[in-house]
Copies of this chain bind each other. A is one copy, B any other.
Amino acid sequence: MRAKGATARLAALGRAQKDAALAQVARDLRASVSELQAANELDLAAARASGMAEAMLDRLRLDARTIEGIARGVEHVMTLADPVGSRGPMQRLPSGIRVGRQRLPLGVIAMVYESRPNVTVDAAALCLKAGNAVLLRGGKEAAHSNRALGAVIARALESTGLPADAVLIVPPGDRDGVRELVSLVGLVDLAIPRGGEGLIRFVVEHARVPVVQHFKGVCHLFLDAGCDAAMATRLALDGKVRKPGVCNALECLLVHAEDAERLLPPVLAALSAEGVELRGCERTKRIVPSVKAATDEDFGTEFLAKILAVRVVADLDGALEHVRRYGSTHTDAICTERVTSAERWLAEVDASCVLVNASTRFNDGGELGLGAEIGISTTKLHAYGPMGLESLTAEKWIVLGEGQVRG
Contact = CB atoms under 8 A, between A and B. Distances in A.
A11 interface: yes
Contacts of A97: 355, 358, 362, 367
Nearest to A321: B8
B238 A380 contact: no
Nearest to A248: B406
Contacts of A342: 400
A407 interface: yes
Nearest to A348: B12
B369 A401 contact: no
Interface residues of A, number: 71
Interface string A364-407: 00011100000000011110111000000011111111111111
A272 to B, nearest CB: 19
Residue in A211, A363, A394, A400 with the greatest tally of chain B CB atoms within 10 Å: A394
Interface in A329-385: 335, 342, 346-348, 350-359, 361-363, 367-369, 379-382, 384-385
Contacts of A384: 394-397
A104 interface: yes
A126 B217 CA distance: 31
A400 B357 contact: yes
B403 A235 contact: yes
Nearest to A399: B355
A340 B256 CA distance: 62
A351 B397 CA distance: 8
A397 B379 contact: no
Interface string A77-119: 0000000010000010101010100101011000000000000
Given A8-B324, A242-B406, A406-B238, A401 B204 contact: no
A350 B9 CA distance: 12
A208 B201 CA distance: 11
A354 B385 contact: no
A235 B405 contact: yes
A359 B401 CA distance: 9
A153 to B, nearest CB: 25
B95 A399 contact: no
A299 B156 CA distance: 38
Contacts of A394: 380-381, 384
13 contacts: A8-B348, A85-B347, A99-B368, A106-B380, A189-B380, A189-B381, A205-B208, A210-B382, A235-B403, A351-B396, A362-B401, A368-B399, A381-B382
Given A11-B348, A356-B401, A384-B394, 4 more contacts: A102-B346, A106-B380, A358-B405, A361-B406
